[in-house]
Amino acid sequence: MRTPFNQPIVTHIYTADPSAHVFEGKLYIYPSHDLDHNEPSNDNGDQYKMEDYHVLSIDEIGGEVTDHGQVLHVRDVPWASKQMWAPDAAYKNGKYYLFFPARDHEDVFRIGVATSMSPQGPFEAEPHYIPGSFSIDPAVLVDDDNQSYMYFGGLWGGQLEKWQSGSYKPDVAEGPPHDQPALGPYVAKLSEDMLSFEGQPQQISIVDEDGNPILAGDEERRYFEGPWMHKHHNLYYLSYSTGTTHQIVYAVSENPQGPFQYKGVILSPVVGWTTHHSIVEFNGKWFLFYHDSSLSEGVNHKRCVKYVELNIGEDGTIETIHPYEVIEAEA
Ligand code: FUB
């Protein structure tokens, strides 16, 4: 069956930030659940008012999508006050883990965990956020040696600039000057029980083809938010959103903690300000899950999840997807 390219996978709710995983032989998608409201937007992302998570699943590519319903609500997370942003899920030692950012009761973004015995939830939240966690957009890799890593961080509303000194400074809004290395995402090793960090999170360095750090002014390539990690032929692929230039790009390393060398663009800009994705292998093929705002005709905070097959060359190069060009060519 042909992949239903550039179509929302569900239309009964607004969905975004899809984290796709194969669990128990099915594709499970852990998206944000955008609220349907018409309040104004700002650069702080206050319009992204999400309160809960749904889990979606697909038995086969092109097949029906099942919505397993609400699996966690902010009211059931003791430490969180609002803005349940982009989540991820992982499986380890017989349990499923939902990792999610939200603002705490002091308005600071933190990252929490909820657990379930089933990939479709419901999930029960831990009473406290992960000690030492901050910012947004967790993505978790359980490596082949069973060590787990969390990648996270986002500029602007994601508050990463406010942590530059190593502690939270609420009044800091600017990142480094344009001719200085850009802020990177952070990586933290997760403990065996997946509920805490082992050691301090470390900032990841992303470098160009000559080994020089990508600079803060290089908005076509510098990290903004939405990290994802996948492993292919023993290499680690860090992909992320460039935010202000609206691309999904990738960088590669032999080490899960970097440094990562910039390689290219995976997804050109989509309808809507944000772009956020995941990459998953399913039955021997690779897929890109992403979102745009086409379901709401361009309202940034009313988004819809889509997916497409990725072409990956023998040398690991990922072919750029131009979603609207391809759909015109197919029509
Ligand atoms: O969905 C809210 C935020 O928008 C996410 O955390 C970012 O990655 C962006 O997609």
Query: How far apart are alpha carbons 96 and 123 in whole angstroms?
Result: 9
For residue 258, what are the CA distances in angstroms to 94, 190, 196, 204, 238?
Answer: 29, 16, 21, 6, 9
Query: Residue 4 burial by CB count (10 A; 0-12/13-18/19+): exposed, middle or buried?
Result: middle
Question: Is 137 an active-site residue?
Answer: no
Given a contact cutoff of 8 angstroms between Cβ atoms, the answer to whether 12 and 304 are in contact is no
For residue 74, what are the CA distances in angstroms to 68, 84, 107, 125, 229?
Answer: 17, 7, 14, 9, 26
Residues β-bridged to residue 80: 104
Q: Is 321 in the pocket of ligand 1 (CB under 6 A)?
A: no
Confidence label for 2 from pLDDT (cuts 50, 70 and 90): very low
Q: Is 102 in the pocket of ligand 1 (CB under 6 A)?
A: no
Confidence label for 326 from pLDDT (cuts 50, 70 and 90): low
Mutate to test the pocket of ligand 1, among 34, 50, 136 (most ligand atoms within 8 A of CB): 136
Q: Is 152 in the pocket of ligand 1 (CB under 6 A)?
A: no
State pLDDT tens for residues 31-52.
Answer: 999 999 999 899 999 999 999 9
State pLDDT tens for residues 81-131.
Answer: 999 999 999 999 999 999 999 999 999 999 999 999 999 999 999 999 999
Question: Is 60 an active-site residue?
Answer: no
| Model confidence at 3: pLDDT above 60 | no
Predicted pLDDT at 327: 53
Confidence label for 190 from pLDDT (cuts 50, 70 and 90): very high
Quote the ligand 1 centre to 196 CA distance (angstroms). Answer: 23
Quickly tell me which residue has 């300000």 as its tokens.
Answer: 273
| Model confidence at 1: pLDDT above 70 | no
Integer-rounded Cα radius of gyration of the chain: 18
DSSP 167: S
Predicted pLDDT at 69: 98
Reported as type and span, the H/E element at residue 265 is strand 260-267
What are the chain's domains?
2-205+271-330 (2.115.10.20)
Confidence label for 167 from pLDDT (cuts 50, 70 and 90): very high
Given a contact cutoff of 8 angstroms between Cβ atoms, the answer to whether 86 and 19 are in contact is yes
Percent of the chain with pLDDT over 90: 95
Residues 6+ positions from 315 with CB-CB distance below 8 Å:
none
Quickly tell me which residue has 């003791």 as its tokens.
Answer: 78
Quickly tell me which residue has 């990586």 as its tokens.
Answer: 187
| Model confidence at 268: pLDDT above 80 | yes
pTM over cut 0.85: yes
For residue 199, what are the CA distances in angstroms to 21, 64, 102, 130, 260?
Answer: 27, 42, 22, 12, 21
Q: Is 136 in the pocket of ligand 1 (CB under 6 A)?
A: yes
For residue 255, what are the CA distances in angstroms to 15, 229, 311?
Answer: 32, 12, 23
For residue 243, what are the CA distances in angstroms to 41, 46, 145, 167, 261?
Answer: 16, 16, 33, 24, 19
Residue 166 region by backbone torsions, left for phi larger than 0, else alpha for psi between -120 and 50, else beta = left
Select which of 34, 137, 218, 225 is catalytic.
Answer: 225
